[in-house]
């Protein structure tokens, strides 16, 4: 294949349940601060969720918030924060050559449930149905709200990839940059999942919704007492550029996208497939031209379900074996499962390892389940690895979609 343009991350904008900036998010991950809290939602009642507290009015008016969606609001916040963090002057770009690619698990359920609830109060008289419903529920809404907010004219659409979607937005943005179709990409993932009662009811019906007296301890991947998913909202969009463009403007570079892979299991609606996950991880390594032992940090997808975590732990053992310096961690233990935003948030939380050499832990591992044993799984307290040069971030979703990205330290970064 011809040599492809090198793609780098120059900005990070995020909203997580335990932080509204990368610095705040990272500090929470190193301090063991959870973002899971009590949550009450229509028809379900009291439950637990990862709830964000970013300032939605920082970049939007109250009128814009009323007209738009929660996912759109998350995307607008993250996009503006990524642009600011990257030190970008959007006025110096052709607005038609800036792309917006948020990954999503689903979109429109929140608004549909709300509209049905509203008309139910008036005997289902549809004259009370909002005329904003259609633009709120189209699948490209979060991306479109970003273009409206920033005045962008380039390609903008969402990548529906279930819980693997956060990586898809990053991958797709990189691909269009390599093709020369755009000059700047805002890619990652967003989720409004905690605003829909349907997702809680569905996980509860599956027996997959987490329960714990202490909300902060409910999300516990790999722990013997894990009992399900904590649903979370959030988002993370990365500013992506071609390396030569970033270097030309003297940008700070968080890391370089070295490789990626997206696969499908083709086996089941919801059950994970170890062969498919294994193939995806190995595909990303091949894309990056790396052997497993050359990865310093593996960011796992594990959602705290009994079967899912066990399958993933087996895959990590199969691929990475007994590598002496490949560390493994999990971010959902802090924030729950942010669905379409999960992969992007998890990568973002680990990027600072290139600078500080610290691997944030997986918290709430009181008793590691023997079936989930992984060599060098970092638990409960941060680990000073000394140096982290390459991170593999993996995400898996319903209908058997798998995604993995490999990001490396850029030579300009030093410790």
Q: Residue 49: phi, psi to the nearest 5?
A: -160, 160
pLDDT tens figures, 298-311:
999 999 999 999 99
Residue 158 lies in a domain: yes
User: Which candidate, 222, 170, 177, 172, places its Cα nearest to that of 348?
Assistant: 170
Q: Is 85 inside any structural domain?
A: yes
Domain identity same for 215 and 272: no
Q: pLDDT category, 323, cuts 50, 70, 90? A: confident
Tell me the mean pLDDT in the region 141-163: 98
Is 360 catalytic? The answer is no
Residue 237 sits in the same domain as residue 113: yes
Q: Measured between alpha carbons, how far is 389 from 356 in angstroms, rounded to an integer?
A: 11
Give the three-class secondary structure for 277: helix
* 254 domain-assigned: no
Q: How far is CA 124 from the centre of its chain?
A: 37
Shared domain for 279 and 139, answered yes or no, is: no
Query: Of 248, 283, 300, which residue is a domain's last?
Result: 248
Identify whether 260 is a catalytic site residue: no
How much is the pTM?
Answer: 0.97
413: confidence class by pLDDT, cuts 50, 70, 90: low
pLDDT (0 to 100) of residue 163: 97
- Band of residue 25 on the pLDDT scale cut at 50, 70, 90: very high
- Asked whether residue 414 is assigned to any structural domain, the reply reads no
Q: Which of 248, 277, 308 is the last residue of a domain?
A: 248
The answer to whether residue 96 is domain-embedded is yes
CB atoms within 10 A of CB 238: 35
Q: What are φ and ψ of residue 231, in 5° steps?
A: -75, 140
Please confirm, yes or no, whether 117 is among the known catalytic residues: no
Longest dimension (CA), the chain: 65
In this prediction, residue 1 carries a pLDDT of: 38
Name the domain boundary from 203, 221, 248: 248
pLDDT per position as a tens digit, 53-102: 999 999 999 999 999 999 999 999 999 999 999 999 999 999 999 999 99
Same domain, 239 and 316: no
Q: Are 167 and 187 in contact (CB under 8 A)?
A: no
Please indicate, yes or no, whether residues 351 and 217 belong to a single structural domain of this protein. Answer: no
Residue 169 sits at φ, ψ, to 5 deg, of: -60, -40
Residues 182 and 288 in one domain: no
User: pLDDT class for 411, splitting at 50, 70, 90?
Assistant: confident
End-to-end Cα distance, the chain: 34
Q: Are residues 204 and 328 in the same domain?
A: no
Determine what percent of the chain is predicted with pLDDT higher than 90.
Answer: 96
Residue 318 scores a pLDDT above 70: yes
Residue 147 domain boundaries: 8-248
Same domain membership, residue 141 and residue 264: no
For residues 304 and 54, give the distance between their C-alpha atoms in angstroms, rounded to a whole number. 26
C-alpha to C-alpha distance for 400 and 277, rounded to whole angstroms: 9
Indicate the number of domains in the chain.
Answer: 2
Q: Is residue 3 part of a domain?
A: no
Catalytic one among 107, 212, 337, 410? 337
Of the residues 107, 301, 360, 410, only one is catalytic, namely: 301
- Do 336 and 361 fall within a single domain? yes
Residue 44 lies in a domain: yes
Based on the domain organization, do 210 and 273 belong to the same domain?
Answer: no
Q: How far are the Cα atoms of 189, 311, 315, 320 from residue 369, in angstroms, in the given order?
A: 30, 12, 15, 19
Task: Please indicate, yes or no, if residue 324 is contained in any of the structural domains.
Answer: yes
**Are 242 and 263 contained in the same domain?**
no
Options 52, 78, 163, 236, the catalytic residue: 163
The helix/strand/coil state of 341 is helix
- pLDDT higher than 90, residue 3: no
Same domain? 284 vs 170: no
CATH number of the domain where residue 277 is located? 3.40.47.10
């Amino acid at each position: 294949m011809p040599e492809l343009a090198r793609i780098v991350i120059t900005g990070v904008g995020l909203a997580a349940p335990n932080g509204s900036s990368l610095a705040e998010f990272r500090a929470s991950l190193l301090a063991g601060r959870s973002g899971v809290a009590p949550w009450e939602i229509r028809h379900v009642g009291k439950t637990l969720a990862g709830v964000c507290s970013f300032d939605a009015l920082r970049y939007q008016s109250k009128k814009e918030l009323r007209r738009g969606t929660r996912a759109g609001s998350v995307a607008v916040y993250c996009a503006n924060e990524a642009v600011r963090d990257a030190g970008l002057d959007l006025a110096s770009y052709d607005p038609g050559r800036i792309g917006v690619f948020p990954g999503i698990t689903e979109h429109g359920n929140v608004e549909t449930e709300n509209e049905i609830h509203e008309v139910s109060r008036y005997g289902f008289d549809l004259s009370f149905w909002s005329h904003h419903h259609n633009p709120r529920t189209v699948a490209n809404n979060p991306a479109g709200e970003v273009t409206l907010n920033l005045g962008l004219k380039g390609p903008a659409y969402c990548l529906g990839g279930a819980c693997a979607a956060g990586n898809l937005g990053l991958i797709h943005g990189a691909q269009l940059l390599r093709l020369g179709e755009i000059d700047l990409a805002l890619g990652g993932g967003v989720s409004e999942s905690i605003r829909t009662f349907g997702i809680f009811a569905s996980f509860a019906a599956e027996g997959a919704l987490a329960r714990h007296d202490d909300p902060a301890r409910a999300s516990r991947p790999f722990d013997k007492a894990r009992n399900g998913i904590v649903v979370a909202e959030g988002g993370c969009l990365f500013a992506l550029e071609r390396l030569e463009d970033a270097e030309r403007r003297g940008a700070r570079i968080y890391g370089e996208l070295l490789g990626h892979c997206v696969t499908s299991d083709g086996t089941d609606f919801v059950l994970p497939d170890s062969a498919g996950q294994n193939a995806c991880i190995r595909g990303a390594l091949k894309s990056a031209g790396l052997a497993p032992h050359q990865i310093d940090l593996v960011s796992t997808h594990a959602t705290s379900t009994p079967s899912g975590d066990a399958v993933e732990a087996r895959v990590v053992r199969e691929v990475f074996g007994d590598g002496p310096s490949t560390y493994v961690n999990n971010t959902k233990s802090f924030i729950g499962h942010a669905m379409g935003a999960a992969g992007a948030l998890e990568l973002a939380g680990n990027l600072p390892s290139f600078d500080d050499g610290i691997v944030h832990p997986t918290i709430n591992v009181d008793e590691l389940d023997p079936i989930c044993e992984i060599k060098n799984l970092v638990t409960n307290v941060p680990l000073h690895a000394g140096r982290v040069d390459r991170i593999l971030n993996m995400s898996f979703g319903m209908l058997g979609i798998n995604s993995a990205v490999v990001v490396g330290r850029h030579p300009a970064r030093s410790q």
